[in-house]
Structure 1
Amino acid sequence: MKGRLPLHPGKHILPAVPDPAEHAAYVREREPAATLADLDGVVLLYQRHMVKQAVSRHAARRLDWVRADLRVLEYQGGEAGICGGFGPGAPAAALVLEQLIALGARRVITVGTAASLRADLRPGDLVVCDSALRDEGVSHHYLPPRAHITPSPHLTGHLADSLRALDVPVRQGPTWTTDAPYRETAAEIAGYGSLGVLTADMEAAGVFAVAEHRDIEAAAVFAVADTLIDRRPRQDHTGTQNALNTALEAALDSLRAAPHLLDPGLR
């Protein structure tokens, strides 16, 4: 076996033995009408307190359908899901996303924190992701080898528009998705930064890969929490929490505003 991912070449075109539809069937044994197809979409959240904040602002009900804290919020005359409490990293996000898709979710926005790779991006800044470097493991089991993966341009555009409508500064650019946040090296930080990569995160490439494989829409927005330039120990920043709150509201806005697509080619 060669030292590359995945170890079995070409596995992205092979059928898998476990099927997320099995999970949906298990849920529907208890609740035959269980579906997320009627929602505007689902927002994935990685900070546990964000779920609590959202349900304090909007009428919500809890659904015990996935391995996470899944709530359905009433928002602007419609309904959207928020899903958190499953921990950080692409593997956890991918597992939950597969279950959400099997239950009918067709659009997802990931809202989380990221570290800056640029001196002009500071804690509290907002970044809409338009591509992700695949330096994690999950995406390589879903898609053929290539360095980058892109989200849905349609949903990403609505997300950026929703943030601008809130009159907050927002940047748009690539992220570097890695499974190993304590192995981010100076050579990588400098190299990727010089190529225009704005942030480092742990989930985007995996989420985008699952979405592409399952033919749904996905987008991502980050609140910058710390910086890998002139590194200092991480601290709590009021600006980062405010940015997360803004990002969540913009994600809900964009899910509500963006029409559902009938043509998968427009993803």
Structure 2
Amino acid sequence: MSAPAPGVPLPADKHLLPALTDPAEHADYIRAHHPGADLAHSPGVILLYQSSLAAHATRRPGTRPLERWVSADLHRTAEGVVLCSGFGRGAPAAGLIVEQLIALGARAIITIGTAATLTDILHPGDLVICQDALRGEGLSHHYLPPGRYADPDPDLTGRLEAATNALGAAAHRGRAWTTDALYRESAAEVQQYAAEEALVADMEAAGVLAVTRYRKVPAAAAFAVADSLVRRAPRTNAPQTGDGLRLLLRAAALALTDRCEPAERQGPHPG
């Protein structure tokens, strides 16, 4: 095992070290009690963080709840896409759930949520498709080699962007800065990361993209702007942000179902 890298309290080869625990163990335990716990027949999973968006999504006709296979609320849409909500905020919470979902057979992941803009060109309700994510959180360093960015799957990201455009929204493609420390964001960081062409700050994208890259499952991320770190003002819950989230939800469902063959979408949906 190599020595910790400067400034990072982890071995530089942490991503290569074998883990003592395996999410497959959790999946085996769940299936022993719930034989139908299988996500392999779904086109994919959409992670939802805002309770208002989850409530909207689960009220759609044909959407029904699944058993509580993980520490989150699961619903399946009429198209077979699984919605996952109620698991908390931040990269550690999202990463844990993603590990469990993948162990249960999830074939693709899209994470959608709110973000704060780092630039004056974006306003509440504007949409950003994640090009890559600055790894300002801690989780990704357990999964990927030392580096600055976590990348989404290019094909799924392209499908998500195309679906967003098809729904009539002009989404921006850009970099996100992911941080665990919501209340420790600083003006110096905003200036530095904006200079690196980061458009928004969020709390989950880099972690989710790192876990899915490690597990070789395609993933993408998108955001609706909710507030600004450039011109600080209290968040106002602008209706445009909710509109943007709902549009991203529709686009994510389209992107996931589009990447599956028609025969796959007609397969069994256990649970």
Show CA shifts across 1:24-53 (max 9, x none). Answer: 111111122321000010000001222221
Please name the residue that 1:256 is paired with: 257
Question: Which amino acid counterpart does residue 73 of structure 1 have in structure 2?
Answer: T
Question: Which amino acid counterpart does residue 153 of structure 1 have in structure 2?
Answer: P
CA distance in 1, matches of 2:8, 2:82: 33
Contact preservation (8 Å) 2:12, 2:146: no
Please name the residue that 2:106 is paired with: 105
Shift of 1:194: 1.9
Pick one of 53, 66, 70 that aligns with 1:66: 70
Structural mapping, 1:168-247, within 5 Å: 168-247=169-248
Contact preservation (8 Å) 1:129, 1:175: yes
Show CA shifts across 1:211-256 (max 9, x none). Answer: 0000000000100000011111111100000000000000001101
Higher mean C-alpha deviation, range 25-34 or range 140-149: 25-34
Shift of 1:197: 0.7
Q: Is 1:56 matched with 2:69?
A: no
Please name the residue that 1:265 is paired with: none
Question: Which amino acid counterpart does residue 67 of structure 1 have in structure 2?
Answer: S
Instruction: Count the aligned residue pairs.
Output: 257
Q: Evaluate the alpha carbon distance shift between residue 165 and residue 191 of structure 1 in structure 2; reply closer, same or farther with a 3 A threshold.
A: same
Please name the residue that 2:168 is paired with: 167
SS at match of 2:47: strand
SS at match of 1:129: strand
CA distance in 1, matches of 2:97, 2:22: 13
Pick one of 3, 8, 27 that aligns with 1:5: 8
Show CA shifts across 1:136-182 (max 9, x none). Answer: 00000001100011100000000000000011121001000001111
Show CA shifts across 1:54-89 (max 9, x none). Answer: 1211312322101101111112xxx00000101110
Question: Which amino acid counterpart does residue 74 of structure 2 have in structure 1?
Answer: L
Q: Is 1:139 matched with 2:140?
A: yes
CA distance in 1, matches of 2:126, 2:251: 14
Higher mean C-alpha deviation, range 106-115 or range 8-17: 8-17
TM-score, with length taken from structure 1: 0.93
Percent of aligned pairs with the same residue? 51
RMSD: 1.3
Please name the residue that 1:156 is paired with: 157
Higher mean C-alpha deviation, range 177-186 or range 210-219: 177-186
Question: Which amino acid counterpart does residue 80 of structure 1 have in structure 2?
Answer: V
CA distance in 1, matches of 2:9, 2:52: 35
CA distance in 2, matches of 1:118, 1:168: 19
Shift of 1:8: 2.9
Q: Is 1:34 matched with 2:37?
A: yes
CA distance in 2, matches of 1:70, 1:101: 14
SS at match of 1:57: coil
Contact preservation (8 Å) 1:93, 1:203: yes
Contact preservation (8 Å) 1:41, 1:107: yes
Q: Is 1:85 matched with 2:86?
A: yes
Please name the residue that 1:22 is paired with: 25
Which residues of structure 2 form unaligned runs of 5+? 262-271
Higher mean C-alpha deviation, range 119-128 or range 62-71: 62-71
CA distance in 1, matches of 2:256, 2:233: 36
CA distance in 1, matches of 2:144, 2:196: 23
CA distance in 1, matches of 2:45, 2:140: 20
Contact preservation (8 Å) 1:6, 1:140: no
SS at match of 1:198: strand
Contact preservation (8 Å) 2:174, 2:199: yes
SS at match of 2:59: helix
CA distance in 2, matches of 1:58, 1:127: 28
Please name the residue that 1:125 is paired with: 126
TM-score, with length taken from structure 2: 0.92
